[in-house]
Amino acid sequence: MKEFAYSRATGVEEAVSLLAGGSEARFLGGGTNLVDLMKSGVEAPDLLVDVRGLPLGGVEVTADGGLVIGATTTNSDLAVHPEVRRRFPALSQAVLAGASGQLRNVATVGGNLLQRTRCGYFADTSRPCNKRVPGSGCPAIEGEHHNHAILGWSDHCVATNPSDMGVALAAFDAVVSYETVDGPGELPLAEFYPAVGDTPHVETALPAGALITAVTLPAAPVAARSRYRKVRERASYAFATGSLAAALDVRDGVVHEVRIAFGAVASRPWRARAAELSLTGAPATAESFAAAADAELAAAKPLAHNGYKIPLLRNLVVSVLTELAEEAAR
């Protein structure tokens, strides 16, 4: 590991100006991804600016019933917060489905949003990887890619975004607030992770040196009946092979409002807008749910070894929406 300087920021302005002072400076949240990647040599900062002491922790309910989640809130504190569990249960479930108790206790919301892909080639500095070394190639396309993308990938990179939390945030129209030396800004989650294109190393639309300060969830009454389901290769403590966040409001047997987002299928949490469009106004039946899944997955382009994700996601849509509809009918 390369040597680095360490500094604790006590204020937001101080944090962004400290970061601007280092050529290869990084913010340090819980360190559960960054320190790991520094050990592997993927990240080699010369300065870490610790942000956990910033006054950015905690969850607040907004006047209209949405939530403002501070960027340094730990994953545990987010998941167990009563208002998160009441208003956005799928978000609580998504966070609880990720990592382990001893990681969630230190991992922060800001760090979770910016966690890097788990593509094995990305983490192995002896191999080429366009994301790590732009222009070096993508061995995953011909190699090990059973848990890589089926949607939105390009010939330059087929990696997925591994976050569970991000999938629920995508379903609920989260907005990310940040601060820079030039002042604050906001990005809807839908624009936060740019398309892969020929720049897989550009993973967010954040300006350079931006400090994430908060994530806002607009009020969404539909989210009170929501669920996150994650499929993985063992019962717990593994990244998803496919996951789903969904919320459903059925009135008189007809879908009044629906939210669907997929995880582990693309370089970003995948909001399933085509599925939502196909379902809105349709009867709340397993046939409509399957048709909605097909509408979204029509765009899927599986690689040689990850075609299983298409039926996996389709089954997730049908089973989770069926459960939500049955619950609504009770």
Partner 1 sequence: MPPTTRSDISLRVNGETHVLTVDNRTTLLDALRENLGLTGTKKGCDHGQCGACTVLADGRRAVSCLQLAVAAEGSDITTIEGIADGEDLHPVQEAFLELDGYQCGYCTPGQICSAVAVIKEHAAGWPSAATADVRPDAEPVPLDAAEIRERMSGNLCRCGAYTAIVRAVARASDETKVTA
Ligand X SMILES: Cc1cc2nc3c(=O)[nH]c(=O)nc-3n(C[C@H](O)[C@H](O)[C@H](O)COP(=O)(O)OP(=O)(O)OC[C@H]3O[C@@H](n4cnc5c(N)ncnc54)[C@H](O)[C@@H]3O)c2cc1C
Residues of the shown chain interacting with partner 1 in the complex, contacts defined by CB under 8 A? 1, 3-6, 28, 30-32, 35-36, 38-39, 47-48, 50, 52, 76, 79-80, 82, 85-86, 89, 92-93, 96-97, 99-103, 105-106, 230, 235-237
Residue 286: other Cβ atoms inside 10 A: 12
Residue closest to 185 by CA, chosen among 163, 160, 214? 214
DSSP state of 139: T
Measured in residues, the chain has a length of 330
CB of 194 to ligand SF4, least distance (A): 14
- Compute, in degrees rounded to 10, the torsion defined by CA atoms 109, 164, 194, 26: 40
Q: Count residues binding ligand SF4 (CB under 6 A).
A: 15
CB of 220 to partner 1, least distance (A): 15
Residue closest to 110 by CA, chosen among 36, 202, 173, 204? 204
> Contacts with ligand SF4 in 141-160 (CB under 6 A)?
148, 157-159
Our finding on whether 140 is near ligand SF4 (CB under 6 A) is yes
Enter the tokens of residue 318.
């049908």
Alpha helices in 217-330 (DSSP H): 273-279, 286-297, 309-329
Residues 200-219, one symbol each (x = binds ligand SF4 by CB under 6 A, - = not), give x-------------------
Amino acid identity for residue 313 in this structure: L
**Distance of alpha carbon 292 from alpha carbon 287, whole angstroms:** 9
- End-to-end CA separation in angstroms for the chain: 57
> Contacts with ligand X in 93-112 (CB under 6 A)?
98-99, 103, 107-108, 110-112
CB of 127 to ligand SF4, least distance (A): 7
**Of 107 and 149, which CB lies nearer to ligand X in the complex structure?**
107
CB of 283 to ligand X, least distance (A): 34
**Distance of alpha carbon 11 from alpha carbon 230, whole angstroms:** 37
Out of 122, 172, 192, 193, the residue judged to bind ligand SF4 by CB under 6 A: 122
| Helices and strands counted in the chain (H then E) | 13, 12
CB of 80 to partner 1, least distance (A): 5
Our finding on whether 131 is near ligand SF4 (CB under 6 A) is yes
Binding interface with ligand X (CB under 6 A): 26-34, 36, 51, 71, 75, 98-99, 103, 107-108, 110-112, 114-115, 162-165, 211-212, 239
